[in-house]
Structure 1
Amino acid sequence: MAPQHCPRRARIAFSDSATKQLENITSEAEIHALDRALVVISVQPDIGEPIHGDTTGPQLRQYTDEVESVRVLYFVTTLRTVVVVAYIEV
C-alpha cells in the first residue's frame, strides 16, 4: 500500500500593505493567531468567502476566524500554488 501524502500547501505571499500591517503586530498571541489562520488558508485556499466586486482581476476572498479574532483578505493565483494576502486584521 502506497503511503498517503498530506495535501500540498500553497505558499503565502504578502502585498506591500499587508507586510506593513505584519510589521506592526508585536503581541505573541496575535502572531500565533495569524499563523494559525494562514496555515488554514494555505491548506484550503478556497475556505474564505468570496468578496463580490470587479471580475477582471483575481477573486478576492475573506477568511475570518472568530475564535482567534483574525480576518484575512487574500486572493489565490490561477494554479492555486500561491495565496497573496492583501489585508490583515488581528
Structure 2
Amino acid sequence: MPDRQPRRAVITFHEVAERQLAEMDDAALARLDPHLDTIALTPKTAGIQTRPDSPVRDYAKDGVRIAYVSTVLGTIILVAYIEAD
C-alpha cells in the first residue's frame, strides 16, 4: 500500500483576514505560506486555544500570527486574523 500524505484542511479567510492579506507585500506572503501549511496539516495542535471555552486557536511563530477556528473534523479552517512582521 503506498504511503498516503496527511490530509490537509481547506483554509478559508474571513473578510478581515482577506483585507490583511491584500495589504501584505510579496515577502510577507512568502513568509506566511509555510505557516498556513502547518495549520492545514495539524489544525488541532498547531495553535494554542485562546480560552478553554473558545474554539479560536492562536498560532504565533517567526513573526507570523494567525487566529483561526477549525471545524470539528478539522477539514475546514476559518482564518479570522493574520499578521506578519
| TM-score (norm: length of structure 2) | 0.91
Partner SS for 1:20: helix
Structure 2 unaligned blocks of 5 or more: none
Aligned amino acid, residue 70 of structure 1: V
**CA distance, structure 2, for counterparts of residue 62 and residue 17 of structure 1:** 16
**CA distance, structure 2, for counterparts of residue 87 and residue 51 of structure 1:** 13
Between Structure 1 and Structure 2, the one with more strand by share is 2
* Matched residue, 1:60: 56
**CA distance, structure 1, for counterparts of residue 71 and residue 14 of structure 2:** 13
Structure 1 unaligned blocks of 5 or more: none
Which portions of structure 1, spanning 4 or more consecutive aligned residues, are displaced by more than 4 angstroms?
Answer: none
Report whether the alignment pairs 1:30 with 2:24. no
* Matched residue, 2:20: 21
Query: Quick check: which has more Rg, 1 or 2?
Result: 1
Question: How far off is 1:79 after superposition?
Answer: 2.0
Number of residue equivalences:
83
Q: Select the residue among 39, 42, 64 that pairs with 2:40.
A: 42
| TM-score (norm: length of structure 1) | 0.86
Superposed CA deviations along residues 15-50 of structure 1, whole A, max 9, x for unmatched, are 011011111012x22111111110000001021000
